[in-house]
Structure 1
Amino acid sequence: MSENKKFTIRITEKRNGWAAEIIRQVTARRTAVSKREMGFESEELAQAWAEKELAGFIENQAKRNERKAETRKAKVTKED
């Protein structure tokens, strides 16, 4: 599982199968579902999907943060 504290995985059993969710820690007390997939036949399939998606999700978030940092840096140098 991921070492990331901001994102975690939750696997739950539903009526029509298993559901996998990527959960984001918004504040110390509040969480939000960032991505959800339902209808898996087994818990193992749901877990595998969630781990694969979480890795991609964190990678995309890191790239987004880098782009935002570059924009912020350009904005600061432009104002000076």
Structure 2
Amino acid sequence: MSKGKKYSYQLLQQENSWSAQIIRQVTSRRTQVSKSRDGFETEEAATKWAQETLESFLEQQSERNKRKAEKREQRAESNDLGFEEE
């Protein structure tokens, strides 16, 4: 499995305001917007929001993955206890 960046952010300028998007790389060719926010006055404000949001988003994903891994291990252990070898 590759170690590429799965999540990143993108800034867009729309007339007099800026918007920021948190982008998830779904496949090598397809991306999806996971979170977005519009109406920033400056590019710096949009960048700051995107960086902070991306960091908290990645922390939440990491915690979620750990919880799911623990549940997966518990299921595997309970399945192992139910079978006896002859």
Q: Percent identity?
A: 48
Aligned to 1:34: 34
Q: Any idea what the Cα deviations from partners look like across 1:3-49, whole Å, max 9, x if unmatched?
A: x7000110000135100000000011100000000000011100000
* CA distance in structure 1 between the aligned counterparts of 2:24 and 2:48, rounded to whole angstroms: 18
Aligned residues: 77
Give the TM-score of the pair, scaled to structure 1.
Answer: 0.92
Bigger Rg, which one = 2
C-alpha separation between the residues in 1 aligned to 2:16 and 2:53?
21
The one of the two structures with greater contact order (alpha-carbon pairs below 8 A, sep at least 6) is 1
Give ranges in structure 2 of 5+ residues lacking alignment: 81-86
Distance (whole Å) between structure 2 residues aligned to residue 61 and residue 48 of structure 1? 20
Q: CA RMSD, aligned part only?
A: 1.1
Which deviates the most, 14-23 or 64-73? 14-23
- Name the residue aligned to 1:63: 63
Matches of 2:61 and 2:16, distance apart in 1: 31
